A and B are shown apart, each in its own frame.
Chain A
Amino acid sequence: MRMLNLTVNGRVHDVPVDDNELLLDVLRTKVGCTSVREGCGVGACGACTVLVDGRSVSSCLALAVRHDGAEIVTADGLPGDDAVVEAFVECGAMQCGYCIPGFVLMTHELLAENPQPDAEQIAAHLEGNICRCGTYPEICAAVTSAAARGARL
């Protein structure tokens, strides 16, 4: 057990963790971010996506101890008027909703690198995330809409 220093959504947390604990479990059970979810446990579905220092990470594959001092953003910590969130809501880009926070964070990562992505670039960036309800058309529309709004974290 060692103390881990994490900044999650702008708030500092010092949490005791075991060496083999996953970032996913630490965020869910010790920080309280239940928007971060396990879907596959092998980094193949994207439901556990978080932004670590601005980069998307599958938290189900990430050992927590390797992220001491990291700045982490989860979907539930996005600002109240976040443009990506607004775009997803307005485009109806959710059905069961379980996977959507992962898509929202991937969209933030994409738009930070490429503020005006085309359809191919959107698909290339989101192809690792699975929405089993098949909400992809609405999700792609939401990304385009967020880009038009000038989404910035």
Chain B
Amino acid sequence: MTETALREGGEEPAVGARWQRAAARGKVRGTTKYVADLPVPPCAQVAVYRSTRPHARILAVDVTQAAALPGVQAVVTGQDLFALLGERLLTGPAFADQPALAYDRVRYVGEPVAAVLARDLATARAAVDLIAVEYEDLEPVYDVETALKGEFFVHDVLRPSSVFGDLSHLRGKRDTNVCYEYNLRTGDVDAVPTDGVTTVSGEFWSPPVAHVPIELPCTTAWVEDDRLEILTTTQTPSYVRQAVADLLDLPLNKVRVRTSVLGGSFGSKMYDRLEPLAAALAWSQQTAVRLVATREEAFLLTTRHGAGVTSSMSADADGNIVAATADVAYDTGAFADVGPRITAKSGMVAAGPYRVENAWIRSRCIYTNKPSAGPFRGFGVPQVTWSHESLVDELARELGEDPAEFRRRHLLREGDEAPMGTVMHSADFVGCLDAVTDEIGWTTPYEKGEGRWRRGRGVAVGMKAVLTPTIANAVIQLNQDGSATLMISTVDMGQGSDTIMPQIVAEVLHLDEGSVRVVAADTDTTPYDTITAGSRSTYHTGNAVRAAAEKMRDKLVDLAAQRLGVAASDCKVTSGGVMSTTAQETVSISDLMHGHFGARGTTLTAEANFTTSWQPYDHETGRSRQVTEHWFAGAVAVEILVDTMTGRVKVEQLAVAGDVGRAINPTLVEQQLTGAAIMGIGHALFDELVFDQGQIVNGTLLDYQLPSVRDVPAKLTAHVIESAHRTGPFGAKGVGETGILAIAPAIANAVRDAVGVRITRLPLSPERVLEAMTEAGVS
């Protein structure tokens, strides 16, 4: 970790400082207000009737009894909304395939069909029980294998929603369950000589898992004058405004979307969750409505894609990796959501962070009759990392090489061209790997043991591209007293944007800790931002914030130059205000603005936009010279114990490293890394949504296991690697996902080390480990 030098005059720099998290005390005492805690007008409480069938035509919805229940204000069906809105009822970030309420067909068990508005939730729920729906069952498609046969279709026709730049190439489709296919063809895997070549292959499976932020989704919508106001738990306020404006055919300035800090999200509070339904109900009924998902309903709103990867990796006689193949299938459930983006962005890195001349990858996004899968910390990359990091480990072992050393030899370096054609910059895989292997003492000998508990070590490396192209904006309002207000649509979900964005402003304007406040995202006041997701905010919004702060600095310098009668080039902003060397005078911001405007309490504003561009990948080869603005690089090393009696895996030590370019706030970076590691331990060892005929069977927190304090390794360390990015704000990039990419394969590689079995299906539950050991004859 680099220590930041003090500035001129002994002033502490803001960037690189361990500022306390914004609202720390309020979060600890519970006085911080989340969306459900904020005041709203009196509302109808909404309960939702959900489909009991995985795939069926809706023949009739009888709401007579429900509507007659005292206290019920309205019962709204999908047919009612369709009559009002037509195909606008269908929304979605890639394809317009999600109806706020199903109107002709249901596509998964739990899909909303009708909504009851009542004076209280108990009445609304009682009325839901009185709704009767007549279905005609259609053939259900429960898994990707069935879906690929193409006998039955989840959607007959697909229409692109044309919202995002990276998905602008989507075209309409019909009669297929494959909503997106990404292909990478680099070199020629078939032309690789087989002589002396060692190939390892496998069928890897990552099950669907649930995000489970502890804050439940909550959306309130109401009509004020002729406008729609929405207060909601979303990490995509700008998207929601556009989606709702499209849905209701309103101008953007007649839809206001507000949020607050979120009680976690991890990708679950994105795009179309409760918002389209709340908006359609509030607008159609011209009333205020409140929707709060129960935990059981939250399990139905979105999941992480279950993904199968059939893959191989080959090395020649000299130990060079000469070929990699991967056939990836993402189960996206009933709606595409952002599955096409996930499919492409993960497919392009499915060969791993290695120098590989020949690669063949096919990555497909496939509909099934299950709850929709969407973004989850890592955007599909953990599922392909599970494949390439298991393969490379096995390949090293086959060749009799040390798995860490073998990786080190082949990892992409600065300036190398990755298999998809983009040149690497600021992605120090080797530095990350060195940090974690040093930490666990990789090269020091250890006893595997011969008794009940066996010890093993494993490593893995992760690689992910940031979403490109995207757009960020920032507006800074400098107040006459020297405090500042920052308007951005980035949502703080625990990742710490409300802390680090002020650090960037403070660094440029030489302000103190605590003097910059971030306004909660509100589309009436905070400018457009693509999404708060994919670890993109530090770089993108951070760059917009930095540019806005620099414009503000220039304004202050101009004001000081005018006032002091000196050249602007003679003035610079310091911690005490603006200083002129010639005039030997420093004017505080407060005096400068008071003098200029002649009043107290005045404001100066500055704004900036930061937009990235890319070269879209070639649709035949999947290659692009610039497929991404920057890379995330991470590595994990673990030491574990396997209980040979029960198959239980205990992680004793875990070291996680991420290249963040430059840590704006090292403490928050470390927390992102360790927090992701703990979540990743769950994915590795027990996290799994279990389905039976398309229905989630463990969708409550009594049944769904999450990591607790008991699952934290005795020794857990985060390692911040800083290879500055040439266009990052102060060299910085994001970190939210970096830590999670490689956790599961690192643990599986350690299991392989400890007991000699290679497990290719997650999670590594005791049953699965024991079964693999029994099959392999390990006692």
A6 to chain B, nearest CB (A): 17
Q: Which of A96-111 contact B (CB under 8 A)?
A: 96-101, 104
Interface: A127 (CB within 8 A): yes
Contact B28 A101, beta carbon cutoff 8 Å: yes
Interface: B117 (CB within 8 A): no
Interface: A52 (CB within 8 A): no
Contact B701 A45, beta carbon cutoff 8 Å: yes
Contact B25 A89, beta carbon cutoff 8 Å: yes
Partner of B701, one of A39, A85, A134: A39
Task: Please report whether the interface of chain B is mostly helix, strand, loop or mixed according to DSSP.
Answer: loop
Report the separation of the CA atoms of residues A127 and B27 in the bound assembly, to the nearest whole angstrom: 20
Interface: A151 (CB within 8 A): no
Contact B213 A96, beta carbon cutoff 8 Å: yes
Which of these binds chain A: B86-94, B384-392, B578-586, B709-717?
B709-717
Contact B709 A127, beta carbon cutoff 8 Å: yes
Contact A37 B263, beta carbon cutoff 8 Å: yes
Q: A74-B30, A75-B28, A132-B679 are in contact. List 19 more A-B contacts (CB 8 A).
A: A37-B263, A39-B701, A40-B700, A41-B294, A42-B295, A42-B700, A47-B214, A95-B264, A98-B263, A98-B264, A99-B263, A104-B28, A130-B708, A132-B706, A133-B671, A134-B677, A137-B674, A137-B716, A138-B671
Contact B20 A135, beta carbon cutoff 8 Å: no
Report the separation of the CA atoms of residues A130 and B679 in the bound assembly, to the nearest whole angstrom: 11
Contact B675 A133, beta carbon cutoff 8 Å: yes
B residues near A44, Cβ cutoff 8 Å:
700-702
Contact A130 B706, beta carbon cutoff 8 Å: yes
Interface: B261 (CB within 8 A): yes
Contact B295 A39, beta carbon cutoff 8 Å: yes
Contact B24 A95, beta carbon cutoff 8 Å: no
Indicate with 1 or 0, residue by residue over A114-153, a CB within 8 angstroms of chain B CB atoms. Answer: 0000000011001111111111111110000000000000
Q: List 12 A-B contacts (CB under 8 A).
A: A34-B33, A35-B30, A37-B30, A74-B30, A89-B20, A95-B21, A96-B215, A97-B28, A97-B494, A99-B214, A130-B701, A130-B708
Take A74-B30, A96-B215 as given contacts and tell me if A85 and B674 are in contact as well, using a CB distance cutoff of 8 Å: no
Interface: A78 (CB within 8 A): yes
Chain B, residue nearest A99 (CB): B214
Take A97-B23, A100-B30, A130-B214 as given contacts and tell me if A140 and B709 are in contact as well, using a CB distance cutoff of 8 Å: yes
Take A44-B702, A132-B214, A132-B266 as given contacts and tell me if A95 and B671 are in contact as well, using a CB distance cutoff of 8 Å: yes
Contact B24 A92, beta carbon cutoff 8 Å: yes
Contact A132 B712, beta carbon cutoff 8 Å: no
A residues near B27, Cβ cutoff 8 Å:
94, 96-97, 100
Of the four ranges (under 10, 10 to 19, 20 to 34, 35 or more), the interface on chain B belongs to 35 or more
A72 to chain B, nearest CB (A): 14
Report the separation of the CA atoms of residues A89 and B36 in the bound assembly, to the nearest whole angstrom: 24
B residues near A129, Cβ cutoff 8 Å:
708-709
Interface: B253 (CB within 8 A): no
B residues near A85, Cβ cutoff 8 Å:
25, 28-29
Q: Which of B185-237 contact A (CB under 8 A)?
A: 212-216
A133 to chain B, nearest CB (A): 5
Report the separation of the CA atoms of residues A126 and B712 in the bound assembly, to the nearest whole angstrom: 12
B residues near A122, Cβ cutoff 8 Å:
709
Most chain B CB neighbours (cut-off 10 Å) among A37, A93, A137:
A137
